[in-house]
Structure 1
Amino acid sequence: MQVRRLAAWTALPLAAVLGLAACGSGGSGGSGGSTPNGAVSIEIAEPQHLVPTNTSETSGSQVLAALFSPLVDYDAKNKPYEVAAQSVTTTDNKVWTIKLKPGYTFHNGEKVTSDNYLNAWNYGAYGPNGQGNSYFFEKIAGYDAMQTTDSKGKTVTPTAKTLSGLKKVDDLTFSVTLSQPYIDFKTMLGYTAFYPLPQAAFSAPGVLKADYENAPIGQGPFKMKGSWQHDSKVEVVKYDAFPGQKPKVNDVEFRIYQQLTAAYADVLADNLDVLPTVPTENLSTAPTDLGDRYQTSPMSSFQFLAFPTFQKEYSNPDVRRAISMAIDRDEITKSIFKGSQTSARSFVSPVVPGYRDNTAGDAGKFDPAKAKQLYTAAGGPSKITISYNGDGGHKDWVDATCNQLKANLGVDCVGSAEPKFADLLTKVEKKQPVGLFRMGWVMDYPSMEDYLGPLYSTGGSSNYYGYSNPQFDKLVKEGSAAPSQAAAIKKYQQAEDILAKDMPVVPLRFGQNTYGYSTKVKNVEVDLFSRVNLLKIESAS
């Protein structure tokens, strides 16, 4: 099972993986430091990696977004449009042709060609390379033959080193054949895993240089200035030969913090320019402290409580619906999260095309009287445990939820903290009794399927609750293979309607970015992936 897109945090959206490294993101020293030559400074955590096929957390992807230009990006309606690609076309959603825009070069002067994409993707997909984003290539034909485990988890020897579905057409064109049709493949291409790599990144075919990620060479609007100074900073400078949209600043310093509160203090003192996430403890004062330099924007996180549907006491959908109805989401969002998150009553984020408000229906409404009546009639358990990872800042809201369940269902409820998110997942995988357990999800690309397939399909990569509904699986598969976006969304919405009846999880909250910036910059935007838009930010002077 893949778990890399699950989120461990509750209010600090700094990681799209397990979130462990980013839960305390704050500068090793950065306090009071001024940026050289008027460079814009942005807070990040220490990246885990700076190789595109191995970078799946926000801090690393923020740096890579400076160094690379994606094949596609997303417009105001979160639909893909071409950036480094000239066109991405298909007639059947199975065989896709990607034409590259001419004129792109890597920062070392190499021309960008089809081979750079094929080499990077094959490297990322090859199981023995252990790349964290490998699973993004699983839809491409030939992926299974490159893996070290089969569908049953048995260790096997790869029989191929390249994806059979990748074919070079010419220097600026290549084709991608999927194992089955997938309408959102173009949308996927905006993700970090699909960046190209220069020849200079490899010491031999298929062998990445050990020190490549200390000074990554990309084809984006900025190039490295020196090398990655671990636990201190990463500096980039504008790449003059970049053929796309030019940035409005010349230099960016990604300053690495170990404590968000230290970064917040630096923003207030104008010693740091952008803090992508205001610390939870400063949310109530940030509007006063920063004025209109405190901003919010949409992001894609989704927090929910999952039921172990394989356990008898939670196998009845009425029990699950009753628990959902006994939780006052709005009160917790207001009292615990100070309005920095919004209540969730649907199973996909508002940021994706096809989102509908309140798809959970009556099960999403706070109705304690009806909840207790339904719970009693369904024979719900007299004691409820809510398990959570203790390293993610969840105790306060879990305790508040338990208090509501005690009052509204007349049950005993306790929160149970596991030291780490990985510890919780290990217990769930082994089907050890943990009661309800909190989960979080951040999207990889804006598609309903990215919320539905991995989380709820039978055998889905992050379906930890044992949920299985053949009709749901059928609708998701039909949506993926649909001939148009409208047809796909219709199928996905029908699949979501099944979730509303079965309630394998309780939707709780959707996240949003809460960010602040200094008086030295303007036009600061933070996107759906919690990344600062480096093409729009400007010096205030």
Structure 2
Amino acid sequence: MRGSLKGAGATSVLVALLLTGCSGAESGVDEGEGAPAELVIGSSDPVPNLVPGRQSNAFGLTMSVFSPLTFLDADGELSYVAAESVESDDQIHWTITLRDGWTFHDGTPVTAQDYVDSWNTVAYAPNAFENSGQLAVIAGYSDLNPAEGEPATDELSGLTVVDDLTFNVTLNQADSQFPVELSQAQTAFYPMPPSAFDDLDAYGKQPIGNGPFAVTTGWTEGEPIVAERYQDYAGDEPAVDKLTWVPYSDRLTAYTDALAGNVDLVRLPANRMMQVADDFEDDHVYSFSGPAISYLSIPYWDPRFDDVRVRQAISMAIDRDAINEALFGNLNAPATAWTPSIMPGNPDGICGEYCEYDPEAAAELLAEAGGFEGQLTIHFPGGAGHDDLFNAVANYLRQNLGVDAVARPSVGWAEFSEDRNNEVLDGPFFARWGALYPSQQSTLRAMFTSAPGCTNCGGAIIPDVEQALNDADASGSEDGEAYAEAQRHLAEQFPIVPLFEESYNFVTSDKVAELTASAVGEPLLTDVILAED
């Protein structure tokens, strides 16, 4: 497989998506030079709104039409894009200086005020922006998102404009990872031009960004979307001239069209992981180590799981290597910690013997805990392709622990998440997190703190974990090793079962000579190298 990415990661993320927008920008394509170098991308994921603070799966497009303040490469090295610098003496008070000469696709200059206005808009609760929580680290966020009633203000107290190219940011607490949080997949931090605020709904259909590509067609449901090189882009010049997203009803159909050469880049469907090696030549299959990790979460509200040995026995009874080979074609990796190994400073192996397959030891451990009474039901969202995985897990628990284990899908995601959040599930259940920036902080805070990104996914709150995360945030450490202390507490109390580190997998047509990814596991559409005719 081509393109294995190690060293840092981020985001449950997709390469392509339905996009929009008639920006009015001038493209950089000279019609007199012949046909532009075009990349055609197959997409099967609906995108309801392309405002960067609202979209949740349009990362390929958003990262092409917008440019971030900072950027993380495949080695996890931080560099600056739209920002000249992001500096702090105490990890709480930060000064962001923008590069001069940057413009939006409508020709207006990008200023500090644009960032402040955009962040205030995303953070303001009545706007109900899906990515609002990415800004929760900024002072004043709770005022814009009160527990009850309407907010008394629509501006974050932690933002202050200094001049056209400089603004100050005050955080709620010390956070050494803040420059990393400003990188490419945290789309709430992207700027919008002044014209966006006149009609945000219209802007969501016609996004105007500050990135290397400008959307040049209006959005029509079911029709391709085109973005062309923005000729006044102040950053690095992209390798292709034109990006076209073609919508599909499902990933399998897009995959089939890629096999036929009708599209150049699609995400590999889960049900083709075992077949892809026969369908595509090796140099057209790319597997990037991702920032996502899956778990078998434990219902801490059910007293049958109170004994840590029960949770450890469940983990030891699952043969992760066999599942990975049989279901994932070895494209994923068995988890050995509570965050993916591509995270900087990740304490690989900290799960120890409890993440290793040992059915005899698992049975003994469960017996020491007093056994298990009643049916052990494993819950997962139906219709998402998880049936084979959780049926396999149930089989292992039934065979190795002697329990009445069954896998039960919900009607769909809505039913599953409602039952999980309301604490009515009566057995272990599906959980995963795809980080949006390559730091253990992202996953650990989302799964194991009192302000979770995944409600009830990470087990009962462990105060020692939360304190260790606060200490790591304030440490100023850039290698990530400070976060290992939080995982040591997780290893001791074993609140949930780590399963697999997920890869992000793609296939390409013969037209693509080389595909690379950034630290978030997302293919860089600006850097795609096309084969010569």
Instruction: Tell me how far apart the structure 1 counterparts of residues 175 and 37 of structure 2 sit (CA, whole Å).
Output: 46
1:41 counterpart = 2:40: yes
Q: Which residue of 143, 168, 185 maps to 1:175?
A: 168
Aligned to 1:341: 332
1:247 counterpart = 2:247: no
Aligned to 1:307: 298
1:470 counterpart = 2:463: yes
- Runs of 5+ in structure 2 lacking a partner? 1-9, 20-34
Instruction: Tell me how far apart the structure 2 counterparts of residues 461 and 521 of structure 1 sit (CA, whole Å).
Output: 36
- Runs of 5+ in structure 1 lacking a partner? 1-13, 28-35
For the 8 Å contact 2:468–2:483, the answer to whether it is kept is yes
1:495: Cα distance to partner? 0.9
Instruction: Tell me how far apart the structure 2 counterparts of residues 223 and 26 of structure 1 sit (CA, whole Å).
Output: 15
Supply the AA of the counterpart residue of 2:127: N
| Structure 1 counterpart SS, 2:53 | helix
For the 8 Å contact 2:60–2:525, the answer to whether it is kept is no
For the 8 Å contact 1:228–1:235, the answer to whether it is kept is no
Instruction: Tell me how far apart the structure 2 counterparts of residues 215 and 430 of structure 1 sit (CA, whole Å).
Output: 38
Instruction: Tell me how far apart the structure 1 counterparts of residues 344 and 521 of structure 2 sit (CA, whole Å).
Output: 19
1:279 counterpart = 2:278: no
1:463: Cα distance to partner? 4.5
Aligned to 2:25: none
Q: Which residue of 60, 81, 84 maps to 2:82?
A: 84
1:109: Cα distance to partner? 0.6
Supply the AA of the counterpart residue of 1:284: M
Aligned to 2:109: 111
Aligned to 1:441: 433
Aligned to 1:166: 159
Aligned to 1:414: 406
1:301: Cα distance to partner? 1.4
For the 8 Å contact 2:397–2:405, the answer to whether it is kept is yes
1:429 counterpart = 2:428: no
Q: Which residue of 312, 316, 323 maps to 1:332?
A: 323
Instruction: Tell me how far apart the structure 1 counterparts of residues 65 and 204 of structure 2 sit (CA, whole Å).
Output: 12
Structure 1 residue ranges (4+ consecutive) displaced by more than 6 angstroms after TM superposition: 24-27
1:202 counterpart = 2:197: yes
For the 8 Å contact 2:17–2:61, the answer to whether it is kept is no
1:79-119 deviation line (CA, Å, top 9, x unaligned): 32111100000000000100001111111110111011011
For the 8 Å contact 2:86–2:97, the answer to whether it is kept is yes
1:371: Cα distance to partner? 0.6
The equivalences for 1:350-361 within 5 A come to: 350-361=341-352
Aligned to 2:30: none
1:279: Cα distance to partner? 1.9
| Structure 2 counterpart SS, 1:498 | helix
1:135 counterpart = 2:128: no
1:155-211 deviation line (CA, Å, top 9, x unaligned): 2220111001000011000000011111111110012111101011121xxxx4321
Supply the AA of the counterpart residue of 2:39: V
For the 8 Å contact 1:521–1:539, the answer to whether it is kept is yes
1:435: Cα distance to partner? 0.5
For the 8 Å contact 1:298–1:528, the answer to whether it is kept is no
Supply the AA of the counterpart residue of 1:171: D
Q: Which residue of 344, 357, 377 maps to 1:385?
A: 377
For the 8 Å contact 2:40–2:264, the answer to whether it is kept is yes
Instruction: Tell me how far apart the structure 2 counterparts of residues 242 and 336 of structure 1 sit (CA, whole Å).
Output: 44
Instruction: Tell me how far apart the structure 2 counterparts of residues 251 and 109 of structure 1 sit (CA, whole Å).
Output: 20
1:48: Cα distance to partner? 2.7
1:269: Cα distance to partner? 1.6
Instruction: Tell me how far apart the structure 1 counterparts of residues 448 and 244 of structure 2 sit (CA, whole Å).
Output: 40
Instruction: Tell me how far apart the structure 2 counterparts of residues 526 and 371 of structure 1 sit (CA, whole Å).
Output: 39
| Structure 2 counterpart SS, 1:87 | strand
Instruction: Tell me how far apart the structure 1 counterparts of residues 441 and 420 of structure 2 sit (CA, whole Å).
Output: 24
Instruction: Tell me how far apart the structure 2 counterparts of residues 460 and 71 of structure 1 sit (CA, whole Å).
Output: 25
Aligned to 1:455: 447
Taking structure 1 as the reference length, the TM-score comes to 0.89
Supply the AA of the counterpart residue of 1:201: A
Instruction: Tell me how far apart the structure 2 counterparts of residues 346 and 466 of structure 1 sit (CA, whole Å).
Output: 16
For the 8 Å contact 1:122–1:162, the answer to whether it is kept is yes
Instruction: Tell me how far apart the structure 2 counterparts of residues 370 and 457 of structure 1 sit (CA, whole Å).
Output: 31
1:268-327 deviation line (CA, Å, top 9, x unaligned): 22110111x212333333223221211211111111101112321001111100111111
